[in-house]
Structure 1
Amino acid sequence: MHACSRTQWSSADVEASDAFAYWADVVCDTFVGVAVRPGPDAGFEGRIETSVLDGIGFAALTTGPQQVARTRRLIARDREDVLLANIQLRGRARLEQNGHVAVLTPGAMAFVESAHPYALDFADGFSQLVVKVPRARLPHRSLSGATAVELDASGPGRVVADFLVGLNRLQGHAPGEAAALLPHAVDLLDTALAWAAGAAPRQTSAAALTRERVHRFVRRHLTDPRLDAAAVAAGCGVSRRTMYRVLAQDGESLTALIRRLRVSQAQRLVLAHPERPLAAVARECGFGSEAQLYRTFRAVTGMTPGVYRSR
């Protein structure tokens, strides 16, 4: 079962004179390294509830006016490569990245990539849900510089936003059910990212749908060491020839896909559970042995699991 931890922070927990400095530290710890400046109001209040579910971060925040900027200097300092899905719940926000500007109103969602500088401006008080996803979990979707692209509140992106908001609420009282739904959330984010990058949601090709089924099936059966082409094709209801053809469009074979996703899972486990033996990690990721985990991990990441864990 996937663990889910929830933490609450509030500026009310410290003296008023320290409230904004405390808030700025919480924002950096929750998301990525950024510079935060307060709005013109004399007082400042902010609260945030964070949770992490199988490596995916959720942060629901309600706070006052402020400006947030991620600069090249800050990127060079932490180099964290994540995608942030910003869902506006109340108030307005202006997001700018790579020359693209998005204005968020309640119900809208916009994406921002931590590897590029960006700026957020909140002129008034607001509420947001921000979902933080490592880019390794969405490897085949890229905004190609077209970041700060919003999905408006009246389009299909609203369905994705509502699902993520509901999933965040579900974690509070049913973390097991939330964990079961998490793969669907990742798939929806993957699709929404394609929409934001310019793909038309109503013109999704049969090949793209087959590819999504293959990726989804592989993720769900990743721990099975017997997972192979025959099992994936049968599970997705397609021929092996069709499966190979749609995967070839991404330039990645089925073997490479399985290997990469297993290593990604192993990366999360060795960091989240440093005390866990590598033999146990290997079993939980679908590797046939600890030696196979070691060889594959090194081939994909360029380092051994032990070195990766220490870094």
Structure 2
Amino acid sequence: MSPSTATSILASTAGLDQHDKFGYWQDVVCRALVDLECSPVSGRTFEASVEGSRLDGLSVARIEASAHRVERRSSAISRASDESLIFNFVLSGVAMAQQDGRSVVLKAGDGAVCDAQRPYSLRFDDTFQIITIKLARSAITHRAGSIHRITARSLGESSQVCPILFGYLVSFSRQVSILAPAASEKVARNFTELLAAALDEVIQASPPPLSEYRAAALMRARDFVERHLDVCELDTSMVSNALNLSPRYINKLFEAENTSLTRYIWRRRLERAAVDLRDPDRAGLSVSAIAMAHGFNDLSHFSRAFRQRFDFSPRAYRASGAVSAVSGPSPA
């Protein structure tokens, strides 16, 4: 069988009326790559572009866009005719991925995988550039059963291969559309093997899967935390009493996720606060008001924890979002 020719993916909102741009991105791009529901960030102009290629079992797309959010819903999953894994590697900006009760904040040089057979979401609160890979699940059949253990986890934190993969990917995404069919097929095969090696590392470093009962208990604990993040008194004792589980058992559940309940609560509060700091609808709220709304009653502690998490003070983080909202994406 002769090698297949790469099919180009090329689209941009440039030149469209501002009122039509997001609808175009939703219909032509989001659903063409992966069937996703997109939602804009209110009060901001929107610009986006994508360039990439499709090969048999593999699509690679370089995306630059303004802030927005995407969601893989059950309705889209039921329409899907194939089984795919979606990898997102951040070139610039920040992304948050959520799946299987986990969330991860990704910065430049890092990436995460999501399983397109289950709901997931991605959020970009500012202008960003990413490389998105859609890989047929059949390409890594012997690893597919363990993918649920590493969805919405940082690949960069657990894999020594990931930095090599990232550099290869940046070059691959630029060259794949101009390679001859035989060359592009060979490069794609080598890339898939490198990606599989990175997955092996992350799977081996991930905690062993919980039993069905323990997984359900962990999900209940996370759900309770999400619904009570604005309560200052939220702690292990409160969760324990509400779920009728011992504090020791709850902490064991979170230890299996390489964290603790306390750290999980702080992380989710900081992530929620970060979203509000760049939300135009909350521009009139002070930093202290946003901190208190998310369960922080000590502004200095909030500021220190926020800087440690996002490398910016809360005020600088808010200001950088405002500047990006005015200037829009930088030219490709």
Shorter-chain TM range is 0.5 to 0.7
Residue 170 of structure 1 pairs with residue 165 of structure 2: no
Q: Secondary structure at the match of 1:107?
A: coil
Q: 1:220-254: per-residue Cα shift (whole Å, max 9, x none)?
A: xxxxxxxxxxxxxxxxxxxxxxxxxxxxxxxxxxx
C-alpha separation between the residues in 1 aligned to 2:86 and 2:96? 15
* Alignment check: 8 A CA contact 1:93 1:105 kept: yes
Output the amino acid matched with 2:180: P
1:58-69 pair list within 5 angstroms:
58-69=60-71
Which whole-Å deviations, capped at 9, do the CAs of 1:194-221 have from their partners, x for residues lacking one?
Answer: 2232348xxxxxxxxxxxxxxxxxxxxx
Greater than 6 Å deviation, 4+ residue runs = none
Letter in 2 for 1:113: D
1:31 and 2:36 are equivalent in the alignment: no
Q: In structure 1, how many angstroms separate the alpha carbons of the residues matched to 2:76 and 2:189?
A: 31
TM superposition score normalised by structure 1: 0.60
Q: CA deviation at 1:56?
A: 1.0
Question: Unpaired segments of 5 or more residues in structure 2?
Answer: 207-332
Aligned counterparts of 1:112 and 1:149: Cα–Cα separation in 2: 9
What is the correspondence of 1:175-186 to structure 2 with a 5 Å cutoff? Answer: 175-176=180-181, 177-186=183-192
Q: Deviations over 1:281-306 (max 9, x none)?
A: xxxxxxxxxxxxxxxxxxxxxxxxxx
SS at match of 1:106: coil
Check the 8 A contact 1:6/1:49 in 2, yes or no: yes
The TM-score, its normalising length taken from structure 2, stands at 0.56
> The residue matched to 2:46 in structure 1 has which SS?
coil
Q: Secondary structure at the match of 1:33?
A: coil
Output one character per residue of 1:118-159: Cα deviation in whole Å (capped at 9) or x when no partner: 011100000001111110111111313431122227943111
Unaligned runs of 5+ in 1: 201-311
| 8 A contact 1:50–1:60 mirrored in 2 | yes
Within a 5 Å distance, the mapping from 1:41-120 to structure 2 comes to 41-78=43-80, 80-120=82-122
Equivalent runs, 1:228-239 vs 2, <5 Å:
none
Task: Determine the structure 2 residue equivalent to 1:307.
Answer: none
Moved more, 90-99 or 151-160: 151-160
Partner of 1:146: 150
Alignment counterpart, residue 195 of structure 1, candidates 196, 201, 204 = 201
Contact 2:11-2:29 within 8 A present in 1 as well:
no
Of the structure 1 ranges 25-34 and 181-190, higher mean CA displacement relative to structure 2 is found in 25-34
Distance 1:57 1:40 in 2: 30
Call closer, same or farther: CA 1:92–1:151 in 2, change over 3 Å.
same
Q: What's the secondary structure of 1:140's corresponding residue?
A: helix
- Give, in angstroms, the shift of residue 106 of structure 1: 0.6
> How far is 1:6 from its partner?
1.5
Cα distance in structure 2, aligned partners of 1:66 and 1:198: 33
Structure 1: distance between partners of 2:78 and 2:11: 27
Is the Cα contact below 8 Å between 1:80 and 1:114 reproduced in 2?
Answer: no
SS of the residue aligned with 2:204? coil
Distance in 2 between residues matched to 1:35 and 1:7, nearest whole Å:
19
Comparing 156-165 with 24-33, which one deviates more in the overlay? 24-33
What is the Cα deviation at residue 62 of structure 1? 0.2
Measured in 1, the distance between the counterparts of 2:168 and 2:104 equals 21
**C-alpha contact (below 8 Å) 1:111/1:193 kept by paired residues:** no
Identical residues among aligned pairs (%): 28
Greater relative CO (CA pairs within 8 A, separation 6+): 2
Instruction: Look up the equivalent residue of 1:175 and give its one-letter code.
Output: A
CA distance in 1, matches of 2:142, 2:184: 24
The amino acid across from 1:146 in the alignment is: I
User: What is the deviation of 1:191?
Assistant: 1.6
What RMSD in Å do the two structures reach over aligned CA positions? Answer: 2.0
In 2: Cα distance, 1:128 partner to 1:148 partner: 16
Deviation per residue, 1:31-64 (Å, 9 max, x gap): 2221100113431100001311233101111000
Distance 2:78 2:139 in 1: 22
